[in-house]
Amino acid sequence: MSHLPPRVRALRCRACGTEVPVGPVHVCEQCFGPLEVAYDYAVVARTATRAAIEAGPMSMWRYHMLLPYEDPAPPVTLGEGMTPLVHAPRLGEVLGLRHLYIKNDSLNPTNSFKDRVVSVATSWARARGFQVLGCASTGNLANAVAAYAARAGLRGLVVIPDDLEPNKVAPTAVFAPELVRVHGTYDEVNRLCSELADSQPWGFCNINLRPFYSEGSKTLTFETVEQLGWRLPDEIIIPVASGSQFVKHHKAIEELVDLGLVPDGPRPRLTGAQALGCSPVARAFASGSDHIVPVREPRTIAKSLAIGNPSDGADVVRLARASGGVVVAVEEEQILEGMELLARAEGIFTETAGGVTVAVLKQLAEAGRWTGDETVVAYITGHGLKTVDSLSGRTELAEPIPPSLRAFRRAYPELVNPDASPWRASTG
Amino acid sequence: MAVTVRVPGPLRRLTAGAPEVQIEGATVAEALRNLDGRFPGFADRLYEPDGQLKQFVNVYRNDEDVRFASGLETALEDGDDLSIVPAVAGGR
Ligand SMILES: Cc1ncc(COP(=O)(O)O)c(C=O)c1O
Ligand SMILES: [Zn+2]
Domain positions in chain B: 2-86
Vertex A64: Cα angle to A226 and A313 (nearest 5):
75
How many domains are there within chain A?
1
**Residue whose C-alpha is closest to residue A135's, from A152, A149, A151, A116:** A149
B2-86: which CATH number, 3.30.70.20, 3.40.640.10, 3.90.850.10, 3.10.20.30? 3.10.20.30
Cβ contact A200:A237 at 8 Å: no
CA distance A78 to A63: 15
The values of phi and psi at residue A246, to 5°, are: -55, -50
Whether residue A324 is contained in a domain is answered as yes
Q: How confident is the model at residue B92 (pLDDT cuts 50, 70, 90)?
A: low
From atom 15 of ligand 1, which residue's Cα is the shortest distance away? A304
Amino acid occupying residue A305: L
**Paired sense of beta strands A375-380 and A99-104, if any:** parallel
- Structural Rg of chain A based on CA atoms: 22
pLDDT digits (tens, 9 = 90+) for A243-262: 999 999 999 999 999 999 99
A25 contacts on B by Cβ (under 8 Å): 9-10
Q: What is the rounded average pLDDT of the residues A391-404?
A: 93
CA distance B30 to B33: 5
State the ligand closest to the CA atom of A380. Answer: 1
Whether residue A125 is contained in a domain is answered as no
Q: Mean of the per-residue pLDDT values for chain A?
A: 94
Whether residue A18 is contained in a domain is answered as no
Contacts of A41 (CB under 8 A, 6+ apart): A255, A258, A259
Cβ contact A157:A175 at 8 Å: no
**Residue whose C-alpha is closest to residue A100's, from A394, A293, A369, A389:** A369
Q: What is the rounded average pLDDT of the residues A264-279?
A: 97
CA distance A280 to A395: 32
A197 contacts on B by Cβ (under 8 Å): 9
pLDDT digits (tens, 9 = 90+) for B44-81: 989 988 888 887 888 999 988 898 899 999 999 999 99
Q: Which of A355-359, B5-9, B63-67 has the highest mean pLDDT?
A: A355-359
CA distance A276 to A334: 10
Does residue B26 belong to the interface with chain A, where contact is any CB pair within 8 Å? no
Cβ contact A41:A258 at 8 Å: yes
pLDDT at B51: 86
Nearest chain A alpha carbon to B68:
A296
Contacts of A104 (CB under 8 A, 6+ apart): A83, A84, A85, A86, A348, A380
pLDDT digits (tens, 9 = 90+) for A341-355: 999 999 999 999 999
Does residue B67 belong to the interface with chain A, where contact is any CB pair within 8 Å? yes
pLDDT digits (tens, 9 = 90+) for A120-142: 999 999 999 999 999 999 889 99
Whether residue A260 is contained in a domain is answered as yes
* Residue A72 DSSP label: S
pLDDT at B54: 84
Instruction: Look at A195 and A38; give whichever has higher pLDDT.
Output: A38
Q: What is the rounded average pLDDT of the residues A41-53?
A: 97
B86 contacts on A by Cβ (under 8 Å): 26-27, 32, 194
Contacts of A97 (CB under 8 A, 6+ apart): A365, A370, A372, A374, A376
CA distance A413 to A426: 17
Q: What is the rounded average pLDDT of the residues A7-26?
A: 95
Q: What is the rounded average pLDDT of the residues A375-391?
A: 96
In the reported structure, the alpha carbon of residue B54 is separated from the centroid of ligand 2 by a whole-number distance in angstroms of 11
CA distance A162 to A165: 9
CATH code for the domain of A238: 3.40.50.1100
pLDDT at A1 over 50: no
* Stated length of chain A: 428
Contact B88 A34 (CB under 8 A): yes
Cβ contact B69:B82 at 8 Å: no
pLDDT at A276 over 50: yes
Contacts of B63 (CB under 8 A, 6+ apart): A188, A191, B81, B83
Percent pLDDT > 90 in chain B is: 63
Domain that holds residue A354: 85-111+216-391
Q: How confident is the model at residue A422 (pLDDT cuts 50, 70, 90)?
A: confident
**Residue whose C-alpha is closest to residue A22's, from A209, A245, A279, A263:** A209
Contact A206 B86 (CB under 8 A): no
Q: What is the rounded average pLDDT of the residues A362-382?
A: 98
pLDDT at A425 over 70: no
Element (H, E) at A57: none
Contact A206 B65 (CB under 8 A): no
Q: What is the rounded average pLDDT of the residues B7-26?
A: 92
